[in-house]
Amino acid sequence: MAEIARGLLLPEPAVAQRLVRAKRKIRLSATPVRRPDPEALVPRLAPALAVLYLIFNEGYRATAGGELEREDLAAEAIRLARVVASLTPGEPEPAGLLALMLLHHARRAARSDADGALVLLADQDRTRWDRATIAEALPLVDRALTLRLAPGPYARAPDAERI
């Protein structure tokens, strides 16, 4: 609960109350849980991707505890992003988010030193980067940029002046 609250920049009691209300609303609605039609997925993408991004961020850089990262959260966010990307092959944002997660995750082994301290990108041993994960991500980048109709938070072409 505390991680969710920090991710949303809200007090923990407020998040707990939101969860209670959401569970009650689901219970009272008696709406069956089922996969929505493909057309119904697109309007739901933005909040779903935002949640996946928050989960990944908490896994990539834990906001509490003694560890730099939470591998379980990062891996679960990637797993769920793969599902969303597979369900929405014509949408750029899921592919862009998955690529972003994979490219960051590929550097996991080089992100900290033997003492657990953060190693800056410029100082990372690139031989420790996961080449297979990078190879999985690069076609997703191409897909996201090819499908991109309008700039979004995850499938945005890089600003050439900043590179």
Rounded Cα gap, residues 99 and 81, in angstroms:
9
Rounded Cα gap, residues 86 and 79, in angstroms:
11
Which pTM was predicted? 0.77
The pLDDT score that the predictor gives to residue 149 is 66
- Within-domain flag for 162: no
Pair (94, 147) in one structural domain: yes
Pair (21, 44) in one structural domain: no
Pair (105, 46) in one structural domain: yes
- Within-domain flag for 139: yes
Pair (24, 42) in one structural domain: no
The pLDDT score that the predictor gives to residue 70 is 86
Rounded Cα gap, residues 54 and 36, in angstroms:
23
Rounded Cα gap, residues 6 and 4, in angstroms:
5
Question: How confident is the model over 29-72, as pLDDT tens digits?
Answer: 887 777 777 778 788 888 899 999 999 998 888 887 777 788 89
Q: Checking phi first, is residue 61 left (phi over 0); if not, alpha (psi -120 to 50) or beta?
A: beta
Domain total in the chain: 2
Question: Which residues have C-beta within 8 Å of that of residue 105, sequence separation ≥ 6?
Answer: 60, 74, 78, 130, 133
- Within-domain flag for 90: yes
Q: What is the DSSP letter of 112?
A: B
Pair (92, 138) in one structural domain: yes
The pLDDT score that the predictor gives to residue 43 is 83
- Within-domain flag for 116: yes
Pair (6, 67) in one structural domain: no
Question: How confident is the model over 105-136, as pLDDT tens digits?
Answer: 999 999 989 888 889 999 999 999 999 999 99
Q: Checking phi first, is residue 148 left (phi over 0); if not, alpha (psi -120 to 50) or beta?
A: beta
Question: How confident is the model over 143-152, as pLDDT tens digits?
Answer: 888 886 666 7
Please list the residues that pair with 140 across neighbouring strands: none
Tokens of 124: 């990372």
Pair (12, 30) in one structural domain: yes
pLDDT band at 157 (very low <50, low <70, confident <90, very high): low
What's the Cα-to-Cα distance from 103 to each of 36, 37, 86, 107, rounded to whole Å? 30, 30, 18, 7
Q: What is the DSSP letter of 39?
A: H
- Within-domain flag for 163: no
Q: Which residues form the domain of 60? A: 37-157
What's the Cα-to-Cα distance from 99 to each of 7, 75, 91, rounded to whole Å? 21, 13, 13
Pair (148, 76) in one structural domain: yes
